[in-house]
């Protein structure tokens, strides 16, 4: 019988420190057994449980896009026991990944629509996966306008800076990069909180679908902006975070209403969330 608790063994293939406070690192993992990469076929929006023997497991959104072959990447914030151990590991170290878990962003529903992506801080990881996926030549025609509002506390806290600059130069995607504040005189982009910049730059909800990923406070202030613009609750997509252990809807920990965040989510539309008790 297949064992959904058994992780695929992986090796750390690359580590990039993303932020100036060194608390966020992107890890590239390579599967030790090549056939596991196929079994791990995933869709942007999903997450995986990163497993370190002797420490534990953590649920982290997948930052790489399925179009990036040969590896899987995760951006991890150093917060507790497992993440601290992970941050102290080096290239070549062995650990495990379980997944892909959870549901994904509603790609079918998004086809033919104007896609608005709003991200804050280090919740941008699955949004990177989504943007790279959408910008693939075979996928780009499926979507109309793509607009991205992404903000962090300061320029040094932005993730994937090189990629952000590269996307900014493209004409098939509108990037609005912002920081809460900066004293860098060479800062070329916006200054302001994500909800404020969203209000300025997103002018229409026509045929639009919005994906919002960020800390609870950012979501709390961005949601009314989108609602005022006329985005219906079915077209505002959020990704919830929760303490998780099994990741497969069995240990009961992430239970909200009749759903499990790890299995029926973590992606939920606002319309779905309104029907659930606010237990998050």
Partner 1 sequence: MSTKCFSKEEWVGVLEGLKEAYRVFVPVKEGDFHNFRPLENGTRPNFDFQNTRLSAKSLIYPQSERMFEYTVDNQDPEAHKVRETERDYAPQVVVGIRPCDASAFKLVQKNFDNPEYRDPWWVRRYESTTFVGLGCNDPCVTCFCASAGSGPFDPKGLDVLLHDIGEAYVAKALTDKGEALLGKASGGRDASDEEIKKAEGLTRQVAGKITARISTDKLKEKKVTELYAAPFWEEVGFSCINCGTCTYLCPTCWCFDIQDEVQRLEKVGDRMRNWDSCMFPLFTLHTSGHNPRAKKFERVRQRFMHKLKYYVDKYGDGIQCVGCGRCVQFCPVNIDIREVAEKMNAFSSGS
Q: Which of 125, 103, 76 is nearest to 248 (CA)?
A: 103
| From candidates 57, 60, 127, 270, binder to partner 1 by CB under 8 A | 57
In contact, 85 and 101? CB cutoff 8 Å:
no
Q: Which one of 63-71, 204-212, 222-230, 251-259 is the stretch in contact with partner 1 (CB under 8 A)? A: 251-259
| From candidates 13, 36, 68, 241, binder to partner 1 by CB under 8 A | 241
> Is 252 among the residues that bind partner 1 (CB under 8 A)?
yes
CB of 263 to partner 1, least distance (A): 7
> Is 34 among the residues that bind partner 1 (CB under 8 A)?
no
Q: Which one of 62-70, 90-98, 127-135, 136-144 is the stretch in contact with partner 1 (CB under 8 A)? A: 90-98
Q: What is each CA distance from 186 to 44, 182, 183, 190, 197, in whole angstroms?
A: 33, 10, 9, 12, 19
Distance of CA 37 to the CA centre of its chain: 20
SS (H, E, C) 12-72: EEEEEECCCCCCEEEEEEEECCHHHHHHCCCCCCCEEEEEECCCEEEEEECCCCCCCCCCE
Q: What is each CA distance from 143 to 3, 79, 116, 223, 238, in whole angstroms?
A: 38, 36, 11, 23, 19
CB of 275 to partner 1, least distance (A): 7
> Is 54 among the residues that bind partner 1 (CB under 8 A)?
yes
CB of 122 to partner 1, least distance (A): 11
Q: Which of 87, 154, 78 is nearest to 120 (CA)?
A: 154
CB of 73 to partner 1, least distance (A): 20
CB nearer to partner 1: give 141 or 277: 277
| From candidates 23, 139, 182, 255, binder to partner 1 by CB under 8 A | 255
Distance CA 57, CA 124 (A): 21
> Tokens standing for 151?
């903000």
> Is 15 among the residues that bind partner 1 (CB under 8 A)?
no
> Tokens standing for 186?
């060479």
Q: Tell which positions 198-237 bind partner 1, by CB under 8 A.
A: 216
Query: Which spans of this chain sit near partner 1 (rule: CB under 8 A)?
Result: 1-7, 9, 32, 51-57, 79-80, 83, 93-96, 216, 241-243, 245-246, 248-253, 255, 257-258, 263, 274-280
């Amino acid at each position: 019988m297949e064992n959904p608790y058994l992780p695929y063994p992986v090796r750390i293939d690359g580590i990039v420190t993303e932020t100036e406070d060194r608390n966020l690192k992107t890890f590239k993992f390579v599967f030790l057994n090549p056939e596991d990469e196929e079994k791990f076929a995933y869709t942007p929006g999903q997450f995986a449980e990163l497993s370190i023997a002797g420490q534990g497991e953590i649920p982290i959104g997948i930052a790489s896009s399925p179009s990036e072959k040969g590896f899987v990447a995760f951006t991890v914030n150093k917060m507790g026991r497992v993440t601290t151990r992970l941050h102290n590991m080096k290239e070549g170290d062995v650990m495990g990944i379980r997944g892909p878990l959870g549901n994904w962003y509603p790609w079918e529903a998004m086809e033919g629509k104007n896609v608005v992506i709003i991200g804050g801080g280090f919740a941008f990881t699955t949004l990177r996966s989504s943007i790279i996926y959408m910008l693939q030549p075979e996928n780009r025609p499926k979507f109309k306008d793509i607009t991205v509002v992404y903000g962090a506390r300061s320029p040094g806290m932005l993730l994937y800076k090189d990629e952000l600059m590269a996307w900014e130069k493209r004409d098939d995607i509108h990037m609005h990069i912002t920081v809460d504040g900066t004293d860098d005189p060479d800062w070329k982009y916006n200054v302001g909180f994500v909800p404020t910049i969203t209000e300025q730059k997103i002018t229409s909800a026509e045929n639009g679908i919005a994906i919002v990923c960020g800390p609870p406070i950012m979501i709390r202030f961005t949601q009314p902006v989108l609602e005022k613009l006329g985005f219906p609750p079915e077209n505002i997509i959020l990704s919830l975070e929760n303490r998780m252990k099994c990741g497969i809807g069995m240990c009961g920990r992430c239970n909200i209403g009749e759903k499990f965040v790890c299995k029926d989510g973590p992606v939920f539309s606002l319309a779905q969330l309104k029907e659930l008790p606010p237990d998050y």
